[in-house]
Chain A
Amino acid sequence: MLNPFENDERRAFQDSVRKFMETEINPYVDEWDEAGGYPHEVNEKVCALGVFGFDIPEEYGGLGFDDMHMRKAVGLEMGRSSAGGVMASVGARSIMLKPLTELANDEIKARALPDLLSGKKGGALGITEPGGGSDVANIKTVAHKDSDEWVLNGQKMFITGGMQASYFVIAARTGKDGMGGISLFFVDADTPGFTRTPIERKMGWWASDTATLYFDDCRVSADNLMGEENKGFYAIMNNFNYERFLMAAQMTGMSMRLFDECVAYAQDRETFGDKLISHQVIRHKLADMSARIDAMDAYLNQVAEIVNRGENALAEISKLKFYCSTNLEENASAAMQIMGGAGYLRGNAVERIYREVKVQAIGGGSEEIMRDLSVRLMGI
């Protein structure tokens, strides 16, 4: 569908990312998924495109500008590649860069940002705990002040990129119960008292390294407190908007890939003496998929433009995320059905995307939480 917000740079950038994915990622997706990992230099290659530097000053290796339409292009092409696991792991840095840039002190920024943006080192964001992820206000990991240090105790679970990461942004309780007692900390992976173990055998995202993190009297300098004490919750919520927007764009790209795979298969496959593509039942499925994709795409464009203009789009981003995940689920189901038995076999994009629907519907704010939040933000 024609994008009314396209211009030369946006198109050139999306073309470049797409070509990169098609050449450097797509041919290896199955292999890396089965292996449960990917070569480290992929981090550097993806980062070299400049896909994570939005709204980060150039002195730290960032772009020095922001553009939601370009952020959308990144998500779209990552999703289309069907390399969900690889992109989740490489992209884990993207969900901790904003708090790092806005809240960490200059020494930490100068040390961590260039390495994270060039892909030399990995980063991860630790909010979710074994006790729960939706109820962020009730996290149990604690940090208490001991002279000029903070001492962290607790666990974080489901942390994407957590096995590779050198740097973490961690939420911990520093004050009273509830949202007003949470702070953010910068933690180096080699800090004594910090350990991690991999979470293996997931439904999808096989190529991504998901970790459980343990903090046992893990001491960090007072300077590692990011932003104001007990103001972490607001930073977390603010940060989620960019993650959710990126996920929505990925889901749209994943849907575009599903559509292309089905059309190609249906044009080739014959049943009952005719090409699958000429059976009306299949054609209607494709029409529905295409209409859903157009709607997701248009919704993304609209939200991107609102945010670019500096307007508040918090309710819209929450709605966008669950709108995209429910539509992705329908698209994945339709695509799988069109492929018949062939889709059920491992090693094809449709099967892989089908297994990655739920992480999009649950991670980064589940559908239920997104619905709840959006009506609340609308003042209802």
Chain B
Amino acid sequence: MKILVPVKRVVDYNVKIRVKPDQTGVDLANVKMSMNPFCEIAVEEAVRLQEAGTATEIIVVSVGPTQAQETIRTALAMGADRGILVKTDDDLEPLGIAKVLKAVVEAESPDLVILGKQAIDGDNNQTGQMLSALLGWSQGTFASELGIDGDKVNVTREIDGGLQSVKLSMPAIITTDLRLNEPRYASLPNIMKAKKKPIDEKQLAEYGVDAAPRLEIVKVAEPAEREAGVKVETVGELVDKLKNEAGVL
């Protein structure tokens, strides 16, 4: 079984992000970048399937700038076999990424695509679903448990009301939730081995997809600072404040 894992390079989860003064986006100058944590979970799950003898090859793909190679290397150091970098300096929207991934899927014919449910930069939560629609494949999103059963895959999904179990026919799309696994740390021997694993470099143009943005960013701003709470004496006062100060009633 072949698994494709798309990975995204994002601002490290520990970094306190700053909005650019001109409000056009987030300041990325000299900011530490890492693999999106949900993508790490996806890589880990694929590696576990390979260690269990279920998967035979893991291919990681990243769509992004030259530096996204580092993100691919991280995945290779965790245990993936080879990488594909689709180079672009544009910040693609989920639909654009999904179209590129569809082309990669058509070239590689994986049985499973495991993606993070969302990336911690845009928090879009769309790419997996869009890819599923473009390919016409089944999808098991927000997976907290995954089991291969012949040509079927059993997925436990985290939904608002609790957990939902679904059985999908492969090929299929899985998106990972936080509780699926705890990703390993890349060890030094594996970092050195990853150096020798191949990364195939492609240009976005080679895929011939229309990845032009559909959305216009009007402005990016810091969220309003949270103010200290107040204590109210009576229910009447509470209702009054909700109506007249918070404006929610």
| A residues apposed to B, CB below 8 Å | 8-9, 11-13, 15-17, 19-20, 22, 48-51, 53, 63, 65, 70
Contacts and interface: CB of A to CB of B under 8 A. Distances in A.
B129 to A, nearest CB: 29
B14 A12 contact: no
Contacts of B187: 16, 48-50
Nearest to A62: B189
B195 A9 contact: yes
A78 to B, nearest CB: 14
B188 A19 contact: no
Given A9-B195, A22-B14, A50 B188 contact: yes
Contact of B74 (A12, A49, A65, A70): A12
A8 B189 contact: no
The 6 closest A-B pairs by CB, nearest first: A50-B188, A50-B187, A16-B186, A20-B185, A16-B185, A12-B191
A50 B189 contact: yes
Contacts of B73: 8, 12
Given A8-B70, A22-B14, A13 B189 contact: no
Nearest to A19: B185
B185 A63 contact: no
A15 B34 CA distance: 9
A352 to B, nearest CB: 21
Given A8-B73, A19-B185, A20-B185, A13 B14 contact: no
Contact of B188 (A8, A11, A22, A63): A63
A63 B190 CA distance: 10
A268 to B, nearest CB: 13
28 contacts: A8-B70, A8-B73, A8-B195, A11-B70, A12-B70, A12-B74, A12-B77, A12-B186, A12-B191, A15-B34, A16-B77, A16-B185, A16-B187, A16-B191, A17-B185, A19-B185, A20-B185, A22-B14, A48-B185, A48-B187, A49-B188, A50-B188, A50-B190, A53-B188, A53-B189, A63-B189, A65-B192, A70-B188
B188 A13 contact: yes
A17 B77 CA distance: 13
Given A9-B192, A22-B14, A70-B188, 11 more contacts: A8-B73, A12-B73, A15-B34, A16-B185, A16-B187, A20-B185, A48-B187, A49-B188, A50-B189, A53-B189, A63-B189
A16 to B, nearest CB: 5
Nearest to B32: A15
Nearest to A70: B188
Interface of B: 14, 34, 70, 73-74, 77, 185-192, 194-195
B interface: dominant SS: helix
Nearest to B40: A19
Nearest to B189: A50
A19 B189 CA distance: 17
Nearest to B69: A8
* Interface hub of B74, B190, B191 (most chain A Cβ within 10 A): B191
A65 B189 CA distance: 10
A343 to B, nearest CB: 22
A63 B189 CA distance: 6
Contacts of B192: 9, 63, 65
A4 B18 CA distance: 27
A13 B185 contact: no
Contacts of B70: 8, 11-12
A50 B192 CA distance: 11
A11 B195 CA distance: 13
A51 B185 contact: no
B188 A51 contact: yes
Contacts of B185: 16-17, 19-20, 48-49
Nearest to A15: B34
Contacts of A49: 185, 187-188
Contacts of A63: 188-189, 192
A107 B96 CA distance: 60
A20 B186 CA distance: 9
A21 to B, nearest CB: 10
Contacts of B195: 8-9
A51 B191 CA distance: 12
A51 to B, nearest CB: 7
A199 B9 CA distance: 48
A20 B74 CA distance: 14
Contacts of A8: 70, 73, 195
A9 B34 CA distance: 14
Contacts of A22: 14
Contacts of A51: 188
A334 B79 CA distance: 44
A15 B189 CA distance: 14
* Interface hub of A8, A16, A48 (most chain B Cβ within 10 A): A16
Contacts of B190: 50
A13 B70 CA distance: 12
A12 B194 CA distance: 11
Contacts of B194: 12
Contacts of A19: 185
Nearest to A23: B185
* Interface hub of A12, A51, A65 (most chain B Cβ within 10 A): A12
A8 B34 CA distance: 13
A190 B1 CA distance: 49
